Amino acid sequence: DVLVVNAGIGVFGDPLEQDPDAIDRLFQINIHAPYHASVEAARRMPKGGRIIVIGSVNGERIPMAGLASYALSKSAMQGLARGLARDFGPRGITVNVVQPGPIDTDATPADGPMQELLYGFMAIKRYGRPEEVAGMVAWLAGPEADFVTGAMHTIDGAFSA
- Residue 10: which pLDDT band, with cuts at 50, 70 and 90? very high
Give residue-wise pLDDT tens across range 22-61. Answer: 999 999 999 999 999 999 999 999 999 999 999 999 999 9
On whether the CB atoms of residues 62 and 114 are closer than 8 A, the answer is: no
Give residue-wise pLDDT tens across range 56-103. Answer: 999 999 989 999 999 999 999 999 999 999 999 999 999 999 999 999
pLDDT of residue 116: 87
pLDDT of residue 91: 97
On whether the CB atoms of residues 7 and 29 are closer than 8 A, the answer is: yes
35 classed as catalytic: no
Report field, pTM of the whole predicted structure over 0.75? yes
Cα-Cα-Cα-Cα dihedral sign, residues 140, 134, 67, 29: negative
Question: What would the DSSP string read from start to end of 85-131?
Answer: HHHHGGGT-EEEEEEE-SB-SSSS-TTSTTHHHHHTT-SS-S-B-HH
Give the up-direction half-sphere exposure of residue 35: CA atoms within 13 A in the CB hemisphere. 15
Give residue-wise pLDDT tens across range 50-65. Answer: 999 999 999 999 989 9
